[in-house]
Structure 1
Amino acid sequence: MDLFRQSATMEGCVKAPYTNNSEYLLDMLMLLDLLIQVHMNRITEKENSDSSNMGREPLELEKAIIRQRINLSRLNGVHLNLPYLSQLVQLTELEEMALMIALAPELDSKFGNLYAQLQEPGYQTKPTVELATRLLSIFQGGCLFAQSIFDANTKLMNYRLLRFTDPGNANYLLQRSLYVDTQIVNFLIGIDQLDSRLAAVAHVADPQSETETNCFNDDHQRRLLKLVRAQLTNDGQLTSKLLFDLFGAAGSGKLSTVKAVCRELGVSLIIGNIANMLHQPAAFADNLFLLCREVLLHPAALCLLHTDALLSSPNQYPKEIAALLDSIERFPNLTFMIGLKSCSSLLIRGDSMCFQVEFTLPDVKERKNLWERMSKQVRLEVPIDFESLAEKFRFSPGRIQHALLAARSMALWRDPQHGRISMKDLQHACYLQTNHDHEHRLADKLTSTGKLEDLILTPEQAASLQELIDQVKYRRVVHGEWGFQHRLARGRGLNILLHGPPGTGKTTAAEVLANELGLDLYRIDLSQVVSKYIGETEKNLHRIFQEAEESFAILFFDEADALFGKRTEVKDALDRHANMEIAFLLQKMEEYDGITILATNLYGNLDAAFIRRMQFSIELTLPDESNRLNIWRMMFPKEAPLSDDIDYAFLAKNFKMAGGHIKNVVLSAAFLAAKDEEPIGMAHIVRSLRRELDKMGKLTSKEAFGPYFDLLGGKRA
């Protein structure tokens, strides 16, 4: 057939553009069918070299028609998946046909049966490299070596479009059988879904899932958009790879900002989780490859969460870090890395532009605005003090949203019909959002319902406690409205020292302060905090203060002299280590915006540097007779049965005890009375007194017990 005749025939056969991808695949199967017929004719007729072109005319005609229909489809905006994939990875027409040869049995079982007939027994329905090479030689119209198409470094294999089966007898390349990767099959036939092998480590972002309220830092969003758009060509392609390293506190709006940027750009977003990938170390490189290939196929931007998980042990993950860098450099053009810490030290490589973007927690004013904006989505009781919540809880936008959802559940549980959120619901929900990990290891949470007026104090002690309560209550006025926060780079918190003999109410005073201020109180377990291993004490202290920041919790160091004793002259490494611990704690106390309470029975043993840093130093002395009388009376609950013979004035006058000791006596007497099935009387109290005095190392004298001394040896003794 001459050139003129071929063109005329093509002109008569050309059709309209393809209407859809399926119609295109049917034409490709028809072309493959012709190719197999030519191959089978050569086998049956044993053609020689002079007749090698027999049967090629309809084959060439079909190829030309398909090419022209592809071009028409492209001009008319009809998406065809195989030509699109070919353009993405720059496949040749021959490589496209190789892919089609392996794909055919997935589309029509007829081709599997044909392959089985054309191959040696045992290869079944998948084409071998040898068969594919012979078919491609006919398609090309000349001799072809298998390695040029199916070597590991070719695009078909490098992008894992084609895979080899692995039979035990396949010693040579020609003997190996071919199949199309499962996800590539889905892609070519038009199934638009994420690779099922990535279900545990990745997902496609829902463009409508985020609300504007979650992205409080509009400046970051504007800058990111401006940077990306500056690199776009007229047809929407990036001129160079862009890599953004977004880091900062959890919930500070990093992911919501990325989603908002992609939504504005009209770009799909695929989100992968590095931490989850590290749970399957053997599959890390494969999962990362599949993820990045998905980004290429869709196309989409890539967002990788928890990338700083690789930084925690870089020596442990050298292969994973290398795989990450290779995949990012090879596949996606727009990548966002998200973590608590910056990963830029790992990412500077190749010609990618890497931008570090730090996300900080909102300040009090921004938090108040976020509370007000986000609360419009729920029903509230009035009034709600959002300023108090914003000041007390240093929450990110994400945590504010979670707290509102938790509070809504509480309100609906309480009142299913109306479900209006109260201030109490919000406070409880906020405390649930805070990190209570230190509660289980390094600290104990103390609770109290006591009020300041319940404490038996001297006027000076009561005034000091009231003053520090007022400092906390009015800090928003002084620090915020009056601008003192700009003059105080650090030290905006309160450091309080409570000192005095045992039992004088230091712990009770701390509990009452927390209750009056509506704050959590944690008593630090020094036995867990202080470690013999160098650096561990500092780590524990850092962890305590970091977690307390979230809820403005009060930190209570009881028997503080054990940790904060006087610094010693450095004579050895242990002295140096101990002094470093004290210096570190001083630093953390200065940085903390909340309340730190130190309690000690041994004021003289404290380091002078600590005493200087205390805004309040309150001495809780032994109560005088008048106060002891009040303590004795208030220790008995109104529900407790009392005998008329209790001599409160005698007890207050003759026994100089702290409130803690009086509490022990009263409680012990109550148990004695319960055993005797009698109201609590003087006999029970006297017996308990003797036991308490023995604990205190004091003698039991007849003069002290006076007329009640005989009760010590009476029938109840």
Structure 2
Amino acid sequence: MMKERETRSNAAKKQKSAAMDGAFGEYGSAEHLLDELIWLDAGLQTLLGAGGDDPLADPLAAFKGMYVSREELLDSGAAAPDEQMARAWIAYTAFRRETEERIGTRAAAGMGPPLMRLAESMRLTVWEYRCVVLCLAAEWDRKYEKWFAYLNDDATVKAPTVDLALRLLGDAEADRQLGRRLLGEGGSLRRWLLRPPGEGMAAQGLRTPLRLDERVVSFLLETEALDGRLLGVVESREPHEAPEPEGEGAAGADSRMKQALDGWPSGSVPVVGLWGARGGGKRSCLHRLAAGRGQRLLMVSLAALPSEAELLRGKMDSIVREALLTDAAIAFAEEDGLWKERLPREVLLSSLQAYAESARRPLIGWSGLERRSGSELPLPDRAAYWSGEVPPPGAEARAGLWRSHASELGEAANSPGAPDYNELASELASRFSHTPGQIASAWRQALVLAAERGDGLPRREELAAAARGQFRHRLARHADRIEARRGWSDLIIPADSLETIREACSRYVHRETVLGQWGFGGKLSYGTGVHMLFAGPPGTGKTMAAEVVAGELGLELYRVDLSRIVSKYIGETEQRLRELFDEARQSGAILFFDEGDALFGKRTEVKDAHDRYANMEAAYLLQLIEGYDGVTILATNLMQNLDEALLRRMSIIVKFPFPDAEDRVRIFRSLLPAGAPLDEDLDLPFLAQRVEASGGHIKNIVLAAAFLAAGERRPIGMSHMVRAARAELQKLGKIPMREAFAPYGD
């Protein structure tokens, strides 16, 4: 019977070996595994010769391990193997080495099947590699379950065990000792490739089943591109998908990263940190860095990681396993700064330490909105940290990006009636300092707005609205948004004041030309923003002017709520101010400080601690104003109360005088809508002469008169205006004489 078994086994060996001698074509995972199973089948057949029948032929073999016979007990001693069996095992080990050499030669001719790539990326020993093949066999073909149950002497254990691996995979006793060490808790097999033993399984010793982790199986059988447990947390980016850099900012960051990587200290773990505005291309830069090394990039969302320590440890283990399997770099995307309080630092650190120690070519990336020092990040030992900014592209590059998206419209973009997208591109690039990602998102949003209108060509206002919608911030925590509904025609102030405001808007529009192209930005490290001071009595149009500026520049307008900024606790006001300006810097919004003298008042003589800290707050706010490169507007009724240091930092100062009679006529007319019914006796010049009030009070008069007329179901007439005017003047402490509004008065 032994001779018959040897004959059948040798025939199978010759048949399968002949299949390996064919042409070296595409060597896939299935073909490679079948080749590996040649030596495994031979080994199982050889082990079978040590005692027992063929489990595939003997119907009683499946019951082995469910009962113990007297003969088996008497034969369970450590009997020395007979000479014939020893020769069979020597022949098998020689055949296994020969088969493995032929497989290695064939695999080296191509890209390498997953098993080979796994062995290279995780630097597996020969014994570990054989153990992976042994465990994978049970996932490939259910016939091996019978073999394993039989050879384990336990019909309930249909997976390879530690004992079976030690008996089958080595050539000598030294290999058995090596296998025990490699299957220990600190080895790569147990740490990354095998499933945990499960409850109560760790104490079984030699009988512990060996099963591959689900992701290892899907990787080796090529049934999954990314671990399904990482969906929503990890984005995989392949080397051949790396995009070209968009703009000079991304290209410059690429060059600096490559130069730094070329000079990285030997034996260190390279860590690259990139910071900059959203959509600036930080992730693409890291993608190109990994692709330059021929590596895949795993981009991890910190916001999507679980905060509970055990769940986070399990997710990080899956991420590190994925990186080790595919020889990938790991990069973290920091959507906000909350990860430091939310995620246990020690878990992140231990996981990255394990990655650094186990990976063949470790590379760690970090991207966020703010610059991070190495001490802020959970960096492993021997980490060499480099950080750099990915600045937004200049105005010319931004215009080119807008034009490239417009070119996707094809001939329709040049059809009659279509907007001039070349001109629009230059206008949008000047108004909005968007990143490439924000421009692409704005263009998609504009197409949606156009489609909603039933057209495929976005209009100017749709592109502008989509561009404004790209700003993401949390300014509502400290300020209130003001909808910019007023235009230049609504703003009734002296011509010289109006011209000054227009010049300030032009200054913002052309800042890229002056600061960027002409080089003034390189000379000035601060003070490059546009800061306006509107001074004048209440109701003279300061808030309306702020709305006009916001509408002209296409920016959001936020009025700072002092109640949410000023705090009685020392240091908290400064913290809130810093958060306010940080959010404004991310959004590009206009900060409007109404009643600005409350925050920017003159610093006083220090008589107690309160004076000292109040002066510190004022000084800190002046520094923030000077360092802010956006637009700020301060409005005050009492300019003489403002600190002189603030006046020096203002780009322009516009005075809003009390309106004269001619201006009051214009204000009355501007406040009356075209659809409002007006009586023929309405005499606006007469009202303007009799009512000495600012625009804010005139607004109250017109609105009150409209409600009076509506209540009487009559057009708005002089009687309504006079009654409303008298009530408003009384609010101001002015009691008009009875004959003041004659002949329209009572």
User: Given the two structures, how large is their TM-score scaled by the length of structure 1?
Assistant: 0.84
Moved more, 524-533 or 124-133: 124-133
- Cross-structure match for 2:91: 61
Q: Which amino acid aligns with 1:355?
A: W
Secondary structure of the residue that 1:212 maps to in structure 2? coil
- Cross-structure match for 1:673: 709
Which of 31, 34, 37 lines up with 2:45 in the alignment?
34
Instruction: Supply the distance in 1 between the matched residues of 2:372 and 2:742 (Cα, whole angstroms).
Output: 75
- Cross-structure match for 1:535: 571
Secondary structure of the residue that 1:384 maps to in structure 2? helix
CA distance 1:167–1:126, shift in 2 (3 Å): farther
- Cross-structure match for 1:156: 189
Q: Which amino acid aligns with 1:430?
A: A
CA distance 1:95–1:197, shift in 2 (3 Å): same
Which of 108, 121, 140 lines up with 2:141 in the alignment?
108
Q: Which amino acid aligns with 1:411?
A: A
Secondary structure of the residue that 1:433 maps to in structure 2? coil
Instruction: Supply the distance in 2 between the matched residues of 1:182 and 1:659 (Cα, whole angstroms).
Output: 73
Moved more, 272-281 or 441-450: 272-281
Moved more, 146-155 or 70-79: 146-155
Q: CA deviation at 1:667?
A: 0.8
- Cross-structure match for 2:471: 434
Structure 2 residue 398 is the aligned partner of structure 1 residue 367: yes
User: What whole-Å deviation, never above 9, does each CA across 1:623-680 have from its counterpart, x for those lacking one?
Assistant: 2233333433443333222223334344233331112112111111111111111112
Structure 2 residue 515 is the aligned partner of structure 1 residue 447: no
Q: Which amino acid aligns with 2:230?
A: L
Aligned residue-pair number:
692
CA distance 1:405–1:71, shift in 2 (3 Å): same
Structure 2 residue 723 is the aligned partner of structure 1 residue 693: no
Instruction: Supply the distance in 1 between the matched residues of 2:383 and 2:590 (Cα, whole angstroms).
Output: 47
Secondary structure of the residue that 2:538 maps to in structure 1? coil
Instruction: Supply the distance in 1 between the matched residues of 2:514 and 2:215 (Cα, whole angstroms).
Output: 62
CA distance 1:632–1:88, shift in 2 (3 Å): closer
CA distance 1:208–1:23, shift in 2 (3 Å): closer
Instruction: Supply the distance in 1 between the matched residues of 2:346 and 2:76 (Cα, whole angstroms).
Output: 57
Instruction: Supply the distance in 1 between the matched residues of 2:560 and 2:426 (Cα, whole angstroms).
Output: 29
CA distance 1:312–1:185, shift in 2 (3 Å): closer
Q: Which amino acid aligns with 2:210?
A: L
Which of 204, 227, 233 lines up with 2:236 in the alignment?
204
Moved more, 598-607 or 121-130: 121-130
Instruction: Supply the distance in 2 between the matched residues of 1:230 and 1:563 (Cα, whole angstroms).
Output: 50
Q: CA deviation at 1:609?
A: 2.4
Contact 2:527 2:628 (C-alpha < 8 Å) held by counterparts: yes
Contact 2:36 2:103 (C-alpha < 8 Å) held by counterparts: no
User: What whole-Å deviation, never above 9, does each CA across 1:379-416 have from its counterpart, x for those lacking one?
Assistant: 54314243332232222222222222222333344344
Contact 2:486 2:548 (C-alpha < 8 Å) held by counterparts: yes
Structure 2 residue 426 is the aligned partner of structure 1 residue 398: no
Q: CA deviation at 1:270?
A: 3.0
- Cross-structure match for 2:24: none
- Cross-structure match for 2:6: none
**1:90-169 matched pairs, under 5 angstroms:** 91-117=124-150, 123-130=156-163, 132-133=165-166, 147-148=180-181, 150-161=183-194, 163-167=196-200
Secondary structure of the residue that 2:524 maps to in structure 1? coil
Instruction: Supply the distance in 2 between the matched residues of 1:640 and 1:309 (Cα, whole angstroms).
Output: 52
Secondary structure of the residue that 1:678 maps to in structure 2? coil
Q: CA deviation at 1:447?
A: 1.2
Q: CA deviation at 1:46?
A: 5.8
User: What whole-Å deviation, never above 9, does each CA across 1:559-593 have from its counterpart, x for those lacking one?
Assistant: 11222222222334333332222212212222233
Q: CA deviation at 1:71?
A: 1.4
CA distance 1:622–1:208, shift in 2 (3 Å): same
Instruction: Supply the distance in 2 between the matched residues of 1:135 and 1:145 (Cα, whole angstroms).
Output: 13
Secondary structure of the residue that 1:49 maps to in structure 2? coil
**1:245-394 matched pairs, under 5 angstroms:** 245-279=273-307, 281-306=309-334, 312-313=340-341, 316-340=344-368, 341-345=371-375, 346=377, 350-351=381-382, 353-373=384-404, 375-379=406-410, 380=413, 381-382=419-420, 383-394=422-433
Instruction: Supply the distance in 1 between the matched residues of 2:701 and 2:286 (Cα, whole angstroms).
Output: 64
Q: Which amino acid aligns with 2:450?
A: A
Which of 215, 221, 245 lines up with 1:183 in the alignment?
215
CA distance 1:310–1:334, shift in 2 (3 Å): farther
User: What whole-Å deviation, never above 9, does each CA across 1:136-179 have from its counterpart, x for those lacking one?
Assistant: 689759986984453323443233436423347x6442453332
Instruction: Supply the distance in 2 between the matched residues of 1:46 and 1:497 (Cα, whole angstroms).
Output: 98
Which of 662, 666, 675 lines up with 1:626 in the alignment?
662
Instruction: Supply the distance in 2 between the matched residues of 1:551 and 1:148 (Cα, whole angstroms).
Output: 57
Contact 2:260 2:386 (C-alpha < 8 Å) held by counterparts: no
User: What whole-Å deviation, never above 9, does each CA across 1:581-630 have from its counterpart, x for those lacking one?
Assistant: 22122122222333322112223332232233334333322222333334
Instruction: Supply the distance in 1 between the matched residues of 2:315 and 2:229 (Cα, whole angstroms).
Output: 8
Instruction: Supply the distance in 2 between the matched residues of 1:87 and 1:475 (Cα, whole angstroms).
Output: 54
Instruction: Supply the distance in 2 between the matched residues of 1:481 and 1:302 (Cα, whole angstroms).
Output: 37
Instruction: Supply the distance in 1 between the matched residues of 2:194 and 2:381 (Cα, whole angstroms).
Output: 25
Q: Root-mean-square deviation (CA), in Å?
A: 3.8
CA distance 1:546–1:573, shift in 2 (3 Å): same
Instruction: Supply the distance in 1 between the matched residues of 2:261 and 2:406 (Cα, whole angstroms).
Output: 33
Contact 1:16 1:72 (C-alpha < 8 Å) held by counterparts: no
Contact 2:602 2:641 (C-alpha < 8 Å) held by counterparts: yes
CA distance 1:116–1:468, shift in 2 (3 Å): closer
Instruction: Supply the distance in 1 between the matched residues of 2:621 and 2:52 (Cα, whole angstroms).
Output: 88
Q: Which amino acid aligns with 1:75?
A: T
User: What whole-Å deviation, never above 9, does each CA across 1:660-707 have from its counterpart, x for those lacking one?
Assistant: 112111111111111111112222222222321232223353243444
Moved more, 364-373 or 128-137: 128-137
User: Given the two structures, how large is their TM-score scaled by the length of structure 2?
Assistant: 0.81
Moved more, 257-266 or 308-317: 308-317
Unaligned runs of 5+ in 2: 1-9, 22-26, 54-70, 414-418
- Cross-structure match for 1:584: 620
User: What whole-Å deviation, never above 9, does each CA across 1:449-472 have from its counterpart, x for those lacking one?
Assistant: 422x44333344344444444544
Secondary structure of the residue that 2:305 maps to in structure 1? helix
Secondary structure of the residue that 1:672 maps to in structure 2? helix
Instruction: Supply the distance in 1 between the matched residues of 2:176 and 2:529 (Cα, whole angstroms).
Output: 82
Q: CA deviation at 1:120?
A: 6.9
- Cross-structure match for 1:496: 532
Which of 17, 30, 34 lines up with 1:23 in the alignment?
34
Instruction: Supply the distance in 1 between the matched residues of 2:518 and 2:169 (Cα, whole angstroms).
Output: 82
Which of 628, 638, 643 lines up with 1:607 in the alignment?
643
